């Protein structure tokens, strides 16, 4: 008899606790804002085009003269800064000072 009463009390507490969490939502006491941003969308990957010969690049941008061409891109990401460089300026003679300035720029606060 006593075990039965304990099981009934536990079941009532469990169900009551579940409904209490659903109705009162205590976790909302700890959130300060709501984010209403759209989810990122992704396109399905397309297979690369057929190559006529192994030496011919499949990418038209690469084929149009981007091979062995230096490129640099800078921007922001969240609260920080990003710098992408190709080829490596620290390995290029005469660009050692640029590498130091780039690190300082990325590390600087806005």
Answer yes or no: are the C-beta atoms of 65 and 74 closer than 8 Å.
no
User: Which domain, by its residues, includes 76?
Assistant: 67-107
- Tell me, yes or no, whether 14 lies in a domain: yes
pLDDT tens profile 22-69: 888 877 777 777 777 777 676 666 665 665 555 554 555 555 556 667
Q: Which SS3 state, helix, strand or coil, does residue 31 take?
A: coil
For the chain, what is the domain count? 2
Average pLDDT, the chain: 76
Quick one: three-class SS letters along 84-107? EEECCHHHCCCCHHHHHHHHHHHH
- Tell me, yes or no, whether 62 lies in a domain: no
- Tell me, yes or no, whether 48 lies in a domain: no
- Tell me, yes or no, whether 56 lies in a domain: no
Residue 6, both tokens: 């304990």
**pLDDT-based confidence at 11, cuts 50/70/90?**
very high
Q: Which residues contact 82 (CB under 8 A, 6 or more apart)?
A: 73, 74, 75, 76, 106
- Tell me, yes or no, whether 12 lies in a domain: yes
What is the Cβ-side half-sphere exposure of residue 84, based on CA atoms within 13 angstroms?
A: 5
Give the pLDDT of residue 53.
Answer: 52
Torsion angle of C-alpha atoms 64, 68, 70, 71, degrees rounded to 10: 50
pLDDT tens profile 16-31: 998 888 888 877 777 7
- Tell me, yes or no, whether 101 lies in a domain: yes
* Dist CA 30 CA 44 (whole Å): 38
Provide the whole-model pTM. Answer: 0.36
């Amino acid at each position: 008899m006593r075990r039965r009463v304990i099981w009934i009390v536990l079941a009532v507490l469990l169900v009551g606790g579940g409904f209490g969490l659903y109705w009162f939502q205590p976790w909302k006491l700890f959130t300060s804002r709501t984010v209403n941003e759209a989810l990122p969308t992704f396109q399905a990957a397309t297979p690369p085009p057929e190559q006529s010969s192994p030496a011919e690049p499949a990418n038209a941008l690469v084929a149009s003269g981007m091979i062995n061409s230096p490129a640099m891109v800078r921007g922001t990401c969240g609260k920080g800064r990003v710098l992408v460089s190709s080829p490596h300026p620290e390995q290029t003679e005469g660009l050692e000072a640029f590498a130091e300035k780039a690190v300082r720029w990325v590390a600087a606060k806005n």
